[in-house]
Amino acid sequence: MNANAEILQHTEDGVLTLTLNRPQRKNALTSAMYATLADALERAVDAAAVRVAVIQGQEGMFSAGNDIEEFLQAPPAGTDSPVFRFLRAIATFPKPLVAAVCGPAVGIGTTLLFHCDLVYAGDNAAFSMPFVNLGLCAEGASSLLAPQMFGYHRAAEALLLGEPIYAETALELGLVNRVLPPREVNAHAQQVARKLAAKPLTSLVETKRLMKGAQQPAVLQRMAEEGAVFARMLREPAAKEAFAAFLEKRTPDFSRC
Distance CA 143, CA 122 (A): 25
pLDDT of residue 41: 98
C-beta separation of 168 from 126 below 8 A: no
User: What is residue 136's predicted lDDT score, i.e. its pLDDT?
Assistant: 96
Please provide the DSSP assignment of the chain as one string: --HHHHEEEEEETTEEEEEE--GGGTTPBPHHHHHHHHHHHHHHHH-TT-SEEEEE-BTTBSB--B-HHHHHHS---STTSHHHHHHHHHHH--S-EEEEE-SEEETHHHHGGGG-SEEEEETT-EEE--TGGGT----TTHHHHHHHHH-HHHHHIIIII---EEHHHHHHHTS-SEEE-HHHHHHHHHHHHHHHHTS-HHHHHHHHHHHHGGGHHHHHHHHHHHHHHHHHHHTSHHHHHHHHHHHHTS----TT-
pLDDT of residue 69: 85
pLDDT tens digits, 78-121: 678 899 999 999 999 999 999 999 999 999 999 999 999 999 99
pTM for the structure as a whole: 0.96
Domains of the chain plus CATH, in order, are 3-181 (3.90.226.10)
Average pLDDT, the chain: 95
Determine the pLDDT at residue 27. 98
Look at residues 234, 224, 215 and name the one whose alpha carbon lies nearest to residue 84: 224
Backbone angles phi, psi at 247, to 5 degrees: -70, -30
